Chains A and B, each alone.
Chain A
Amino acid sequence: MKKRTFVRTLVGAAVLAAFSGVAYSQQTVKIGLLATLEGPFAAGGADGMRGAELAIKQKNGMAGGRKIELIKASSDAKPDVAVNATRKLVEQDKVDIMVGPLSGGEGIAVKEYSKTQPNITFINGSSGAQATTLVNPSPNFFRFNTEGAQWMVGLGKAALDKGYKRVMVIAEDYAFPYSQVQGFMAEYCRLGGKVPVKAWVPLGGKDYASVIARIPKDVDALVVVLGGADAVNFLNQYEAAGGDKPMVGGSITVSQDILNYKGKRRDSLVGTIAGSPIADAYDAPEFKAFVADYQKNYPVSAGGYPSPSLFALVYYINMKAALDGLDAVKGDLSGGQAKYREALQKMTLKTPVGDVRLDANRQAIGSTFVTEVVKDAQGNLFNKVLRRVDGIDQMLGMKKEEFQMGSRDVPSCP
């Protein structure tokens, strides 16, 4: 009996939930928020949600005179799951604005889905694949964050300044690292650098012995574009194999977990340069205010990070864009949200890391940082800002004709 009651309660609740999406007051604006709360990017997804919530909190839950109702959904970094979750938010929960998803493959899939919902405005979460806005862009998908290739601008020059004339690339084998490597190589190759070998390793790979064996003797540095655990695994094995080449990092390579790395090669991390849209030690007042606000709302004791992650910043930026857009049109979403979209398109968004505008494909033109790992007085490693590069567009400053999207073989300068 108990079991039956339980199942009935559950089914009843599910039915209730299914039909609760019908009646709504005109006053609230519903915003759907999608991030990965499961799977490989679960920690990043949770921090992304914190960033998005912070943007709403800062406005006391109001934008354009209307109350904001946030409806969250989760995926596990798989495109089909992301589309299912988005479809539920849009068609079942009837959100007006959609913010998300987190990762590259998901972003492309959600962008494709957005074309079937022309009356809803989609704003990216933190997905950074180039193709999302370059190939078959969707008229109602906006991305206020710069993407993987843009984040690496300035790094090629910094590497040459360090005297790295030949480098080997070691990167995970999917869209986001392709973009990152392209962003690095476009500049590096143009300025005369050489990349004789590129090693593409599977995401979540554990064994790097074959890659380490392929590192040529005559390269000056390794460009390592690996995420969290992959990067730590690689470092450990490279150390065990007696490697001593300096590193150049991708945007999610030299994160805090790498800097807390305890191996013997720890000191050799000092001097590692990387490109990233966020730099912990950036000292602009807007950024410091953002970090302080994050720390106040999400102290470490409540599950927050000591300093907001890339995902928190990028979700914050995109949610802030959604809310600022509502302010600009005073909450007017009528006419298939035409006015709202026009406002988004024209807006110059103030973010903690500088102003952002959109290009014709609704992709952000913004700033990025070149950082370097340094040791402070207490012996802790942190990322120092070497340089801030402004006004980077998706073509990376190239002409449309000569720009080629990053892939395994593009660009190439052996």
Chain B
Amino acid sequence: MSAAEWRNAMNAGVGRLAMGKPVKAPALQVKPHAFQSPIGLRHVVVLAFLLAFPLYATPFLTFQIGAQSLALGLVALSLTFLGGYGGMVSLAQMTVAGIAGYLVAILGASASADTSISLGWPWWLAVLAAVIVATACGAFIGWLAVRTEGIYMIMITLAVGVAFYYLCLQNYSVFNGFQGFQRVKAPTLLGLDWREPVLFYYLVLFWSLAGYLFVKYLIRAPFGVALQGIRDNPRRMNALGFHVTAHRVAAFAVAGLIAAVGGVLLVWYNGLITPNSVGTSWLINVLIIAVLGGLRHPIGPFIGAIVFVLLQTFAIDLIDRERFNLVIGAVFLAIVLFSPDGLLGLWAALKTKFSTPRGGLK
């Protein structure tokens, strides 16, 4: 059965969601092997650009633009995976990242007004535990949310996220309340300080690439194909013998793992974590990043994150200092208005329009 036939068969199903105009979902990919597709010129160009970036950029650009974009992109990637390939929009991905960040601070070393909270475990143990627990939390949030769909799932995950925010804000014995934790530092390993801008950039780049390739692989693996089937027609997949709920919870666990790694990198990037790091604005920012880039491909969240961070950093230089949020809002609005598929959709539309055969850029 070809991909097109498969999709037609799915779309003809009785359980088709009647949700107005659906977001254009990524095409179902059923190629059996992950790395079968040839490595194109554009992959080489982008990778070379990313690897060489710190060589010609200032430490500021490397750290604040490069590293921050990639770390945020990694968290948003978890949402792209859930939303684009699982059809589930979760607002709690920053919460999962925040759980990982908090655990790194609590189990590892930090300085706060009350330093007795941090347990001072070795960093690798703290990070390992943080990622495992956060992944479990991600799966648990999924287990709570997967029985609902659409706007109800958004509401449940938002509620979980806001509840965690208030827990952090008001619990003093574990989360240290409003103050959170300061000086959560990336470790020194092999005699190198991984908080140095260039090294930290490569650390984040490594994990971002790992996350990207992991998602690329997964969406072509049987699990990912089944997930996309569930996204397109859960009732038919159920009839075919797939355990829909289990697949969805597993997808949340995978997304939780990606978000947890992103969360550890973010807490090292910021060097601190406070309840604001998991507040409502960040829950929604992750969605903005994912939608901005486009949900149709795992590269989308990274592109979205770059645009987001560039705007956050430089919008204030473009316009009157008191009004710079207007620029940010206007650009987001323009992108979403002109291209519901985000920047990737914009690119695809332009490519079709001018149908130039070159393919250098993303």
Residues B178 and A407 in contact, CB atoms below 8 Å apart: no
Of A17, A113, A174, which one neighbours B178 at CB under 8 angstroms?
Answer: A174
Residues B113 and A74 in contact, CB atoms below 8 Å apart: no
Residues A80 and B276 in contact, CB atoms below 8 Å apart: yes
Of A3, A11, A18, which one neighbours B334 at CB under 8 angstroms?
Answer: A3
Interface of chain A residues 83 through 98 with chain B (CB within 8 A): 83-84, 87-88, 91-92
Residues B178 and A79 in contact, CB atoms below 8 Å apart: no
Residues A46 and B322 in contact, CB atoms below 8 Å apart: yes
CA distance A407 to B270 in the complex (A): 25
Q: Considering only CB atoms, which chain A residue lies closest to B178 in the complex?
A: A174
CA distance A202 to B59 in the complex (A): 38
Of A73, A79, A92, A135, which one neighbours B276 at CB under 8 angstroms?
Answer: A79
CA distance A46 to B61 in the complex (A): 28
A27-47 vs B, CB cutoff 8 Å, 1 = contact: the mask equals: 000000000011000000010
B68 cross-chain contacts in A, Cβ below 8 A: 84
Residues A14 and B113 in contact, CB atoms below 8 Å apart: no
Of B64, B170, B270, B350, which one neighbours A173 at CB under 8 angstroms?
Answer: B170
B270 cross-chain contacts in A, Cβ below 8 A: 80, 83
Q: Does A112 sit at the interface, judged by CB under 8 A?
A: yes
Residues A17 and B317 in contact, CB atoms below 8 Å apart: yes
Interface of chain A residues 368 through 414 with chain B (CB within 8 A): 405, 407-408
B166 cross-chain contacts in A, Cβ below 8 A: 202
Of B58, B324, B334, which one neighbours A6 at CB under 8 angstroms?
Answer: B334
Q: Considering only CB atoms, which chain A residue lies closest to B271 in the complex?
A: A112
CA distance A37 to B328 in the complex (A): 15
Residues A202 and B169 in contact, CB atoms below 8 Å apart: yes
Q: Considering only CB atoms, which chain A residue lies closest to B323 in the complex?
A: A37
Q: Does A203 sit at the interface, judged by CB under 8 A?
A: yes
Interface of chain A residues 118 through 154 with chain B (CB within 8 A): 131, 135-136
Residues A17 and B318 in contact, CB atoms below 8 Å apart: yes
Residues A18 and B338 in contact in the complex (CB < 8 Å), given A136-B111, A174-B178, A202-B170:
no
CA distance A74 to B312 in the complex (A): 10
Shortest Cβ distance from residue B41 to the other chain A in the assembled complex, whole angstroms: 23
Residues A407 and B113 in contact in the complex (CB < 8 Å), given A88-B60, A88-B64:
yes
A291-333 vs B, CB cutoff 8 Å, 1 = contact: the mask equals: 0000000000000000000000000000000000000000000
Residues A91 and B59 in contact, CB atoms below 8 Å apart: yes
Shortest Cβ distance from residue B209 to the other chain A in the assembled complex, whole angstroms: 24
Residues A14 and B318 in contact in the complex (CB < 8 Å), given A6-B334, A131-B113:
yes
Shortest Cβ distance from residue A404 to the other chain B in the assembled complex, whole angstroms: 12
Q: Considering only CB atoms, which chain B residue lies closest to A90 in the complex?
A: B60
Q: Considering only CB atoms, which chain B residue lies closest to A109 in the complex?
A: B272
Residues A87 and B64 in contact in the complex (CB < 8 Å), given A3-B334, A105-B179:
yes
B272 cross-chain contacts in A, Cβ below 8 A: 79-80, 83, 109, 112
Of A74, A109, A136, A408, which one neighbours B172 at CB under 8 angstroms?
Answer: A408
Of B172, B177, B277, which one neighbours A80 at CB under 8 angstroms?
Answer: B277
Q: Does B114 sit at the interface, judged by CB under 8 A?
A: yes
Q: Does A108 sit at the interface, judged by CB under 8 A?
A: yes
The B interface, classified by DSSP as helix, strand, loop or mixed, is helix
Residues A83 and B316 in contact in the complex (CB < 8 Å), given A74-B321, A88-B64:
no
Q: Considering only CB atoms, which chain B residue lies closest to A131 in the complex?
A: B113
CA distance A175 to B166 in the complex (A): 17
B310 cross-chain contacts in A, Cβ below 8 A: 11, 14
Shortest Cβ distance from residue B349 to the other chain A in the assembled complex, whole angstroms: 10
CA distance A4 to B317 in the complex (A): 21
Interface of chain B residues 44 through 62 with chain A (CB within 8 A): 58-61
B311 cross-chain contacts in A, Cβ below 8 A: 14
CA distance A203 to B177 in the complex (A): 11
CA distance A286 to B39 in the complex (A): 72
A80 cross-chain contacts in B, Cβ below 8 A: 270, 272, 274, 276-277
Shortest Cβ distance from residue B333 to the other chain A in the assembled complex, whole angstroms: 12
Q: Does A72 sit at the interface, judged by CB under 8 A?
A: yes
Shortest Cβ distance from residue A122 to the other chain B in the assembled complex, whole angstroms: 16
Q: Does A289 sit at the interface, judged by CB under 8 A?
A: no
Shortest Cβ distance from residue B237 to the other chain A in the assembled complex, whole angstroms: 38
Q: Does A13 sit at the interface, judged by CB under 8 A?
A: yes
B214 cross-chain contacts in A, Cβ below 8 A: none
Q: Does A10 sit at the interface, judged by CB under 8 A?
A: yes
Residues A175 and B314 in contact in the complex (CB < 8 Å), given A6-B334, A37-B321, A74-B321:
no
CA distance A87 to B64 in the complex (A): 8
Residues A88 and B274 in contact in the complex (CB < 8 Å), given A174-B179, A202-B169:
no
Residues B314 and A17 in contact, CB atoms below 8 Å apart: yes
Most buried by B among A72, A79, A174: A79
Residues A87 and B276 in contact in the complex (CB < 8 Å), given A6-B334, A74-B316, A173-B170:
no
A108 cross-chain contacts in B, Cβ below 8 A: 179, 182
Q: Does B331 sit at the interface, judged by CB under 8 A?
A: yes
New contact pairs (14) apart from A88-B60, A135-B111, CB-CB < 8 Å: A17-B318, A73-B321, A78-B279, A80-B272, A80-B274, A84-B64, A84-B312, A87-B60, A87-B64, A112-B272, A175-B113, A202-B170, A203-B178, A407-B114
Residues of B whose CB lies within 8 Å of any CB of A are 58-61, 63-64, 68, 111, 113-114, 166, 169-170, 172, 177-180, 182-183, 270-272, 274, 276-277, 279, 310-314, 316-318, 321-322, 324-325, 331, 334, 338, 346, 350
Query: 9 smallest A-B Cβ distances: which pairs?
Result: A91-B60, A174-B178, A17-B317, A78-B276, A80-B270, A72-B321, A14-B314, A92-B60, A17-B314
Q: List 28 A-B contacts (CB under 8 A).
A: A3-B338, A4-B350, A13-B318, A17-B318, A20-B317, A46-B322, A74-B321, A79-B272, A83-B270, A83-B272, A88-B64, A88-B313, A91-B58, A91-B60, A92-B61, A105-B178, A105-B179, A105-B274, A108-B179, A108-B182, A109-B272, A113-B271, A135-B113, A173-B177, A174-B179, A203-B178, A405-B113, A407-B114
